Chains A and B, each alone.
Chain A
Amino acid sequence: MTWSAALPLLILASSLVTGLVIFFLKEQSVLLRTVLNLSGAGVKLILVGILMWGVYQGQTFEARLPLLPNIELVLHADALSLLFVSLSTVLWFVTTVYAIGYLEHSPHRSRFFGFFSLCVTATVGIALAGNLITFLIFYELLTLATYPLLMHRGTADSRRAGRIYLTYTLAGGALLLVGVVWLKALAGPLDFTATGILAGRTDLNPDTLRWIFLLLIAGFGVKAALVPLHGWLPISMAAPAPVSALLHAVAVVKAGAFGITRVVYDVFGVEFAASLGVLMPLTIAASITIVYGSVRALSQDKLKPRLAYSTISQVSYIILGTTIVGPVATIGGIVHLVHQGLMKITLFFCAGNLAETLGIHRVSEMNGVGRRLPKTMAAFTVAALGMIGVPPVAGFISKWYLGAGALDANMPWILVILAVSSALNAAYFLPILYRAWFMPATGAWQERLERGRFETHWMLLMPPLVTAALALLYGLFANMDGSPLAWARLIAEREYLR
């Protein structure tokens, strides 16, 4: 096996093997488990780095495994997969650190970290998938691997969340399966190609293609929390914070959005899809989701559900960018994949810190907490400002490009959507910031005043600081080579150039 085929497989193996080994570790072998976890994540980081450097030099990396006659499992590294895989790998590393700290003394940690590693394997598989069938396989694996994490605490809330999650995601997976099989039966092998494999196919019935598009988008839309398929997301807040962070910033939600991006760009081709007339309904759905999510977030007093509705809203920015024809909007959507991931994970890490260290679950309890947890709240502030779209945090860059792209495509009403959404974001984030920094402390958490050397466990503190810093840096230095913006520009170039 050549190196170019082995590398993608190794990247998958680094978390798969780790996960399988961790399952068999005894609960008490904390040190061994921590070492395995971190070294697995570290090895993956290094391998992904090598992958990126190789692709930058012009090498191709591809692994193919035949499954059925005419159907192959394909792992392929192109610019879009690199974007997602690097995001996943970096965020997995920090989330692993966070989870180790968060779950100290919790039961069933071997089981948790085993499935955690399987989750990341599935996500990386989704990122590196080279055709729809591979994407589908890892997509369903993700459902299976995230279920035990959701159910981890075993409480009645967790069980309910698990049931609802499964109902939504399995139904979505079934729709996706039908769409993929149909497309394969119609059009043959489905390898992702930069301008879309269906673009030149005049022999295919457009109505059939529209139905297939609907099935695929519906299947992906469940995980991407597109309204009205979003119902599972707020309820799954019953999971522990590292799970919410992973699900909302990296794995599940992004997998859905990534799937939609792949379908529009690399299966149908954005211009072909526009000519079929399927993009406008999707634009409308995304716009509705953006506004709906923000409106619902306003009325949530509990912090995690507020962040959940915010996610529903923000992920649709990515979908919005995908559906507007034009390189500028494409850049905005794709780069938001990275930026939103960083900002949202920071917010969830901070929410987890508030809950773990001080027992705070509601916004109304957050008065004055900025003095008690200054670094955590600083990270929260940076991320929240990014969500609103305040420069120089990265969120501003994505919104700018989306707006410019909408103007390019003669859709000025989208600017209204963006503006309304930003205003709503401000409406539900700014009060939190005001309470935390400018109001005197009144909550019951005041009794919990013991402070260690840091304001909270270092493993809970470092990750949000790292991700917030990245969000800031990617905004400040967006024009540098190697920033997410530069990658997004590269992807857009390849999509629109013949």
Chain B
Amino acid sequence: MTVTDFYALVGVALFVMGLSALILRKRDLQRILGLNIMGTGVFMVLVTSALGQGQPADPVPHAMVLTGIVVAVSATAFALALSLARERHK
């Protein structure tokens, strides 16, 4: 197994861990963290695909990951705000 494959598998593992946290955990913060970890897992897979395409690293997956991070940040912010709003409602 090459280094690339190893990192890709780590990414998949993170994805699965994040998903299980989302499903199994009850508290909002834990679920949001789970979502973030899922996202990180996908980003890892994307980054590893930059390595596999030949000698110079492929910039496109990096661009995708950056976009993904931005989306993840906004989504996280929104999720946190929503969680706070629900707290205030109780």
Query: Taking the complex as a whole, does A directly touch B, i.e. does some CB pair lie under 8 Å apart?
Result: no
B residues near A (Cβ < 8 Å) are: none
A residues near B (Cβ < 8 Å) are: none
